[in-house]
Amino acid sequence: MTSNGSNTKSAMPGNGAIVTLREITRETVRTITDLEVSDRQKHFVTSNAVSIAQAYFDRERAWFRAIYADEIPIGFLMLDDDPVKEEYFLWRFMIDARFQGRGFGKRALELLIEHVKTRPGAKCLLTSCVPGKDSPCQFYEKMGFIFTRDLEEDSELLMCLDFRSQC
C-alpha cells in the first residue's frame, strides 16, 4: 500500500485516466523510486532514486515530477530548466513497465511541453536518446522531436522539439 492508500501493484488506471504531474513528497518518494521500466529498457534510463538524488544536488536547474494516472503513480520525469540560458532539456523520462502502451507517456510529455512553453525564452525542448531496440527514440519522433546531432560523450543522439520551427 502507498501512503495515499492505493495499492499500485494491483491498481490499474483506466484508459480514460487523467494524467497529472505532481511534486514528489516525503510520503510518495518510496512509491516513485519503486517504479521501473522493463528489463530490456533499463540501460536507456537511470533509476528514479538516482535521478531524485541528482535533482536534490542540482536544485537550481532540476525540475522533477511524478507522473500520475488518476491517483496511481505511473512514472517520473525531470527537466534541466535553465531560464538564464533559456535552455530546457528533458533529462529523465520513464513510465513504469506496467503502464506503458496506454497513452500515459504521451499525455505526460504533452504536459511537460505545456510547462516548458511557459518558461522564459523557451524556443524548443531538447532531449537525447541512445538508438537501439526498445529505445525511446521512436516515441520522441512521434511526439515531433527531430534528430539534430550526436552527443559525443555518451553516444546519445540529441533531439529537438521546436516551438517556432527550428532549434
- 146/148 Cα distance (integer angstroms): 6
pLDDT at residue number 6 = 45
pLDDT at residue number 43 = 86
pLDDT at residue number 132 = 82
Between residues 132 and 61, the one the model is more confident about = 61
pLDDT at residue number 153 = 64
Cell of 48: 528514479
Cell of 74: 505511473
pLDDT tens profile 14-28: 888 999 999 999 999
pLDDT at residue number 10 = 54
Between residues 166 and 61, the one the model is more confident about = 61
Q: Is residue 8 scored above 80 in pLDDT?
A: no
pLDDT tens profile 79-120: 999 999 999 999 999 999 999 999 999 999 999 999 999 999
Residue type, 37: V
pLDDT at residue number 9 = 52
pLDDT at residue number 71 = 96
Cell of 140: 520522441
pTM of the model: 0.89
Mean pLDDT of the 26-37 span: 97
Q: Is residue 3 scored above 90 in pLDDT?
A: no
SS (H, E, C) 81-150: EECCCCEEEEEEEEECHHHCCCCHHHHHHHHHHHHHHCCCCCCEEEEEECCCCCCCHHHHHHCCCEEEEE
Domains in the chain with CATH codes: 19-162 (3.40.630.30)
